[in-house]
Amino acid sequence: MAPQNLNQVFVVNNPDMISTTTFANNAAANVSQFSVWNVDSSTNFVTALRTAGVWNAKRIQILQTMPSGNPIATPIIDTDLIKRINYREWTSVVPTTATQTVDFGATSTKSVMIRIALRTAPTAYEHYVDPTDGTLDLSGGGYAFPLVGNFSAGRMIFNVELAAGSETALTTALTSAIANNKTLNAIFSATDNGASGCAITARHYGVEFDVTSNYSDGTGAFGTVTASRTNASSNYVQALSAEKAQRARYGNFNRMYFPFNFPTFAQAGYKYDVLEIQYEHDWPSSTGIARAGELNTVKIYFGASSTALAYAAAATGTEVATVFGFTGGTDSEQIF
């Protein structure tokens, strides 16, 4: 199977569609300007791609400003070769984080063994540190997921032994053991709830784990473990992952040695609508980005910090909807 072709990604957090010749770079990555340029006109930005089923520009480029230097731009796109424009509103459906609570429920006269079986490990870009500046993304809350080996057996087990004690003492000891272990603390947070037990939560999206509790001499189970699942509240993770994956197009194939410190536009806590444009390229004379015979894809993430985004229905969103020909606040797909 051929690899999926991501092509180009734009992340626009302050989507001010430029309709004049004023197109200035900004001082911050979270206030990019965005526009569609009519290549065959020296002064016109596109205000509507189609009217009554007719393309209003023969050739266009999609542009997004950078904090400095030239804007990001697509190849020149022949509008007759655009095959699909797809718009999707923000959704909160994202991978889960896991929480499991160890409730000892009694005083133990023997030492207790806690086993944490890690079932999955994050593998996407957003789970790891950016070595150019040391910053981390939302998914780990500032904690880099450690390299802890392979998962060929479907799990990795961490053992924590606790000395005999009351349920509150055992809870405190388990909380402290996780917090003071560099590897465990990078994967889990632990909350001391006293007699109600220790709540263990995966720091990164998509991490699943199991916890068991028994006497360290193997004579039987001790305490109970309850599990719960919580959904994240935004799709920032997907926007960030797509943006970082796209950096390979700039030549950043090795994540350890980026040649340049590229700005990260995706903002933690923002909600993103997605506009996807697929178009053919005039191969072999023009290859665009995709391989010959494949469609180029442009994904544009329009973001805002509002808890009820419905971005396309907003004032600037209406302008975006007018340019690309969809109804604000409604998922849509156009096939040409």
Alpha-carbon distance of 127 to 245, in angstroms, equals 12
DSSP type of residue 53: T
Judge if 215 and 268 occupy the same domain.
no
Tens-place pLDDT, residues 221-265: 888 999 887 665 557 777 877 887 776 655 544 445 555 567 788
- Which amino acid belongs to residue 208? E
Q: Which of 46, 66, 92, 36 is nearest to 205 (CA)?
A: 92
Judge if 63 and 173 occupy the same domain.
no
Q: State the CB neighbour count (10 A cutoff) for residue 79.
A: 18
Q: Is residue 56 part of a domain?
A: yes
Q: How far is CA 232 from CA 88, 211, 221, 227, in A?
A: 19, 22, 33, 16
Mean pLDDT of 295-321: 68
Read off the pLDDT band of 44 (50, 70, 90): confident
For residues 293, 298, 299, 300, the Cα torsion angle rounded to the nearest 10 degrees is -170
Judge if 42 and 73 occupy the same domain.
yes
The token pair that represents 248 in the structure block: 């390979």
Q: Is residue 312 part of a domain?
A: yes
Give the total number of structural domains in the chain.
2
Q: Is residue 203 part of a domain?
A: yes
The structure tokens 């999707």 sit at 88
Judge if 100 and 194 occupy the same domain.
yes
Alpha-carbon distance of 158 to 180, in angstroms, equals 14
Give the CATH number for residue 184: 2.60.40.4390
Tens-place pLDDT, residues 76-105: 889 999 999 998 887 765 556 789 999 999
Listed residues 231, 259, 281: the one ending a domain: 231
Q: How far is CA 106 from CA 43, 112, 197, 224, 326, in A?
A: 77, 12, 10, 11, 61
Q: Is residue 131 part of a domain?
A: no
Residue 3 has pLDDT above 60, yes or no: no
Listed residues 231, 264, 294: the one ending a domain: 231
pTM of the model: 0.69
The token pair that represents 76 in the structure block: 């020149």
Judge if 219 and 281 occupy the same domain.
no
Q: Is residue 148 part of a domain?
A: no
Q: What percent of the chain has a predicted confidence (pLDDT) above 70?
A: 69
Q: How far is CA 143 from CA 129, 191, 243, 248, in A?
A: 8, 16, 20, 24
Q: Is residue 281 part of a domain?
A: yes
Judge if 238 and 227 occupy the same domain.
no
Listed residues 231, 246, 280: the one ending a domain: 231
Alpha-carbon distance of 302 to 324, in angstroms, equals 13
Q: Is residue 149 part of a domain?
A: no
- Which amino acid belongs to residue 132? T
Judge if 106 and 220 occupy the same domain.
yes
> Which domain range does residue 13 map to?
8-91+234-335
